[in-house]
């Protein structure tokens, strides 16, 4: 496991320098996959995980997306505008099936190993924001 994993929800923020990523509207099974991947990490420092639900203020989502190294979202969320917005960004990855935007983003996640590989690859290639 990493040194510290900090889960941040609306309206809060976490200011110390850390590797950050955002989870958007994940269901329980998807959240468990991410949690399992985080438990497999060793000696990687501090990680901040922003967790957004559709009922949270969209301003918080916009601010935290910019602060995050990448975003993982639920492509089967009921918020089509949000899905379209997140799909358009190159640092966005998703669980589920994109309905009409699958040509725009082919960064699907299917397993714990996919999540683990994504996190470790991005930590190796990205500087802390």
Locate the domains of the chain by residue range. Answer: 4-125
Cis preceding linkage at 11, omega within 30 = yes
Task: Look up the pTM and report it.
Answer: 0.86
Give every CB contact of residue 43 below 8 A, 6+ residues apart in sequence: 2, 3
DSSP-assigned beta bridge partners for residue 93: 72
CATH class of the domain whose range is 4-125: alpha beta
DSSP category for residue 91: T
Contact 122/93 with Cβ under 8 angstroms?
no
Q: pLDDT tens, 27-80?
A: 999 999 999 999 998 877 889 999 999 999 999 999 999 999 999 999 999 998
- Would you state the pLDDT for residue 88? 87
Number of residues that make up the chain: 129
Q: What percent of the chain has pLDDT over 70?
A: 90
Asked if pLDDT for residue 103 goes beyond 70, the answer is no
pLDDT of residue 28: 96
**Mean pLDDT computed over 93-110:** 75
- Give which of 3, 20, 5, 49 is closest to 127, Cα–Cα: 20
- pLDDT for position 105: 58
In this prediction, residue 101 carries a pLDDT of: 53
DSSP string, 104-125: T---EE-SHHHHHHHHHHHHHH
């Amino acid at each position: 496991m990493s040194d510290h994993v900090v889960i941040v929800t609306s309206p809060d923020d976490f200011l110390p320098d850390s590797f950050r990523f955002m989870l958007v509207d994940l269901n329980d099974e998807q959240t468990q996959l991410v949690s399992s991947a985080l438990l497999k990490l060793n000696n990687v420092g501090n990680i901040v995980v922003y967790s957004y639900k559709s009922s949270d203020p969209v301003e918080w989502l916009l601010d935290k997306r910019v602060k995050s190294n990448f975003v993982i979202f639920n492509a089967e969320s009921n918020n089509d505008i949000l899905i379209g917005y997140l799909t358009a960004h190159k640092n966005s990855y998703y669980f589920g099936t994109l309905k009409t935007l699958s040509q725009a983003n082919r960064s699907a996640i299917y397993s714990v190993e996919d999540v683990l590989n994504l996190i470790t690859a991005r930590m190796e290639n990205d500087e802390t924001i």
